[in-house]
Structure formats: structure tokens, C-alpha cells
Amino acid sequence: KDAPVKKITPKKVVEKKERILGIDPGFGRIGFGVIEKNNNNNWKVVGYGCIETSPQREFIDRLDDLHKILKKVIKKYNPTRSAVEDLFFAKNVKTAIKVAQARGVILLTLRLADLEIDEFTPLQIKQTIVGYGRAEKRQVQEMLKINLNMKEKPKQDDAADALAVALTCGVSLKMKGLL
């Protein structure tokens, strides 16, 4: 006598959506933007904003605040990877050093959250978003509005820059065949 045939239902494979956290580094105001692929295979905005640290606090305390708040942003948005803008400074060395230290805190916080980190220069970001590496901020913001199907441009430059970093990462992943 044959054993009864058991119906085996294949498990549904749930593909985790790529969700990218973009960061525009700083120490007074740090922009963040989160995007993810929608069902039409286009990028959509999940959230964005700025982390602000108080100039009344000691610099080391501001770095600690940045770390703690960025951890909360990561927990809230649950990104699958991250992207950070590379620094570019021509003038104020003292400010550049502080921003570089804050960027180190940002990179470490992202690494401790087990996120992949991609880094892009301002030139690469503008080239990707606008098609011209010397584009103006308003041009980048207008293209973000179009490409991310936003009703209006982000009001804070730092948040817009962070969304541009995230979108550059998404385009880069697609070009590399990773999406």
C-alpha cells in the first residue's frame, strides 16, 4: 500500500525591499533621508529631516547627541544600507575638522548598526541626480522632487542633500546590477 501523498506548499519567498538611509554630515545640523523601492520599481521617500545639536553644549557632548539620535533614526526607519556624502571643504579648516569628527561618529554609528556604507562626493551626487557635476542646489532639489515623486521640494537643504545621497546610492546599486 502506497503512503498517502502529502501536499507540500512552497514557502513564499519574501524579498526584503532595499531601504537606503542617506546622510549629509555635519555637527550642528545633519541631514538624513530615507528612500525605498516601491512596487513600480521606483524610489519613494519614506522620511527625511535634520538632526540638530545645540551650540550651547560642549563639542564632545554634541557628538554623543548625534550618535544617540542617529541610532534612533536607524531604529525608526530600519534601513537595509546607508550612504554618506564625502567631505569637501575649500576654506575653514577648523570647521572641516569638526565636521570630519562628526562624520567619523556617523560612520561608526552606521557600522555598529551593521549597515553597508556607500560614500559619494558632491560631484558624483550632482552628476547622478542632475546630469551635471556643478549643478546648483535648487537644480538638485527640483530633480529630487521629480525623481522621488514628491509634492514639494524639501525645505531644509541638509535633508534634501541627504535624499540626494540616498538616491545616488540607489542609482549606483542599479548600475552595478545589485538591484
**Catalytic residue annotation:** 24, 85, 158
Crossing angle for the helix pair 157-175 and 137-147, to the nearest 10 degrees: 60
106 and 63 Cβ atoms separated by less than 8 Å? no
Write a three-state SS string for the chain: CCCCCCCCCCCCCCCCCCEEEEEECCCCEEEEEEEEECCCCCEEEEEEEEEECCCCCCHHHHHHHHHHHHHHHHHHHCCCEEEEECCCCCCCHHHHHHHHHHHHHHHHHHHHCCCEEEEECHHHHHHHHCCCCCCCHHHHHHHHHHHCCCCCCCCCHHHHHHHHHHHHHHHHHHHCCCC
**Could you tell me the three cell numbers for 86?**
564625502
Lookup: cell for 27: 555637527
